[in-house]
Amino acid sequence: MLSLADTGFAEATWIMVAKSVVIFAVIFGVLPVLTVVERKLIGRFQHRYGPNRVGPYGLLQPLADVGKLVSKESFRPENATKTLFILGPLLPVLAGVLSLAIIPWGNVQDGVGFYGIDVPIGILYFFAVGSIAFYGLLLGGWSSGSKYSLLGAMRSAAQLISYEVSMGLALLGVIMMSGSLSLVDTVQAQGEMWFIVPQFVGFLIFMLAGFAETNRTPFDMPEADAELVQGFMTEYGGMRFGSFLLVEYMEILVVSGIAAAMFLGGWMGPGPSFLDPIWMLAKMIGLVLLFIWVRATLPRLRYDQLMTLGWKVLLPLATLNVLVTAILVVVFS
Amino acid sequence: MSAGNGFDPRSASYLDSIEVVEVQRGPDPGGVGGAYRAFGETLRGLKTTMARLIEGPMTIEYPEEKTPVYPRFRGRHKLHKFEDTGLEKCVGCSLCAAACPADCIRVVAAENIPGDRVSAGERYAAVYEINLSRCIFCGYCEIACPFDAITMGHDYEMADYDRRDLIFTKEMLLAEPVERTPLKSEGE
């Protein structure tokens, strides 16, 4: 049980429950829209319309997709490890929902914090929970009893190790400037200037690593539809496959949320304070659109290029960024 | 090897005579310079895709929207009648059947009865069938016809559920076809 001293003020239980429900409802309302927005945008990037048959402008497409996935058989290969195979898609969903809790939507207003919870360890929580999501991937791939799945899972593991370090280092610069791990404090520290200006390199590294973390092109090695037939998800069908897809979008939202809070001033924006969550959501959606734009542009990296980029470019660059930031922080304080 | 032929691979004259060809290589990947270049190229790629987005879709949504065809497009055949007398132009000469490389036209000719003429000539086509599942739409029948009785239309939507329905009889070919296909306008 978290002591109330840590959050700085007391909140009634029902407020916390209501907050969770609202965050959950908003995110799960946005997710299906995101899938259709992505497909339509990718279509536009390729001179196509994208889905436009189901409902007006194809907006009901996610409904049809979910209907299809739910009605499919949840197939399990004979040589799959049963419990782990079922656990595989569940862990990432759990981790994704958990990491939604720390995304700050606004400051404390009338005794209610506009966030799930303001953990003092903020970013560390994000990394811890994000790593649990990868367990789901690994377990799912390994327990499928298929070589493609195993290859995809191995790639995921290598990718996670290569990019999580740079991701953490990229955020270290911001943490040094704000002097706090808490996301709420970090956003408040950006009152004068968004951290994207002094920490532009950090932002780039974080976004690059974010692409790798969420298995998006150009780092979608674990899935690699062309060579690995969806990698770790090969043997999954029905809603289990669907939850992997869902998690991908949820992770994109979470990474966008962290990036928006750490670099883009979070809920800061003109207008009255009740618009704060809207600003936050707008910044997140903007970053998600960037994800889609990059997906439409870049081809998948080769495996060795992925490793080279992670270890030889991003890691030294992130370390340099941290060093320079540390020196500047000491000099100017 | 005797020393008499004067060939020495280590001699200066031989080494001078070798043409050294520079092999063109791409820039060395990796390193900070590579990262910088990759970043620039990524931005260029993003610009390219954004330009495609602004151009808008090029899709022709087929069943609702059809690509216009050229006036000389060779679609489904049509048989013609004289507009003034209403008589069939086809005289049953079977030249189209002879010209057909796919052998998909069947003509059975019959004598015209005076007073109840079917065609303008001496004979007429009692049976005129085109098997459209065989037709290759080459248009040779159109060229072979001495009376312009058969021409190629613009209709290309001929899919059917039964192969037997693709054998078009004279009545079907003579009937005024539903013009479903738009024609290309001048300069399109």
Amino acid B168 reads F
Chain A partners of B61 at a C-beta cutoff of 8 Å? 49
C-alpha span between A96 and A79 (Å, rounded): 28
Based on the fold, state whether residues B93 and B165 are members of the same structural domain.
yes
pLDDT at A4: 47
pLDDT at A301: 79
Is residue B135 assigned to a domain? yes
The answer, yes or no, to whether residue A5 has pLDDT greater than 50, is: no
Based on the fold, state whether residues B117 and B169 are members of the same structural domain.
yes
C-alpha span between A114 and A26 (Å, rounded): 13
Amino acid A142 reads W
Is residue B7 assigned to a domain? no
Higher pLDDT, A214 or A42: A42
Looking at the structure of chain B, the number of domains it has is: 2
Cβ of B42 and A297 within 8 Å?
Answer: yes
Based on the fold, state whether residues B46 and B101 are members of the same structural domain.
no
pTM of the entire structure? Answer: 0.76
Based on the fold, state whether residues B41 and B86 are members of the same structural domain.
no
Based on the fold, state whether residues B40 and B93 are members of the same structural domain.
no
The answer, yes or no, to whether residue A231 has pLDDT greater than 90, is: no
Is residue B68 assigned to a domain? no
Cβ of A49 and B30 within 8 Å?
Answer: no
Is residue B113 assigned to a domain? yes
Based on the fold, state whether residues B83 and B155 are members of the same structural domain.
yes
> In this predicted structure, which of A43-57, A298-312, B58-72, B86-100 has the lowest mean pLDDT?
A298-312
Omega within 30 of 0 (cis) for the link into A277: no
Residues A255-281: tens digit of each pLDDT: 898 888 888 887 877 777 777 888 888
In angstroms, what separates the C-alpha of B135 from chain A's closest C-alpha? 34
Domain ranges of chain A: 76-332
The answer, yes or no, to whether residue B3 has pLDDT greater than 60, is: no
Based on the fold, state whether residues B118 and B29 are members of the same structural domain.
no
Residues B53, B59, B64, B70: is their CA dihedral positive or negative? positive
The answer, yes or no, to whether residue B23 has pLDDT greater than 80, is: no
Residues A277, A279, A280, A286: is their CA dihedral positive or negative? positive
- The position carrying tokens 């799960």 is A28
Amino acid A269 reads G
In angstroms, what separates the C-alpha of A290 from chain B's closest C-alpha? 10
DSSP code string of B113-134: BTTB-SBSSSEEEEEEEEETTT
Based on the fold, state whether residues B99 and B139 are members of the same structural domain.
yes
Helix axes A122-143, A82-100, angle to 10 degrees: 160
Cβ of A313 and B45 within 8 Å?
Answer: no
Based on the fold, state whether residues B112 and B31 are members of the same structural domain.
no
Question: Which DSSP helix (H) or strand (E) runs through B108?
Answer: strand B105-111
Cβ of B52 and A308 within 8 Å?
Answer: no
Q: Residue A160, class by beta-carbon neighbours within 10 Å (0-12 exposed, 13-18 middle, 19+ buried)?
A: buried
pLDDT at B98: 92
Over chain B, what is the mean pLDDT?
83
Based on the fold, state whether residues B41 and B91 are members of the same structural domain.
no
Residues A142-175: tens digit of each pLDDT: 888 788 788 878 887 888 888 888 888 888 888 8
- What range defines the domain where residue B38 resides? 25-58
pLDDT at A83: 85
Has the ipTM of the complex gone over 0.90?
no
First vs last C-alpha separation in chain B: 75
Nearest to B57 among A47, A312, A317 (CB): A47
Q: Under 8 Å CB-to-CB from A38, ≥6 apart: which residues? A: A249, A292, A295
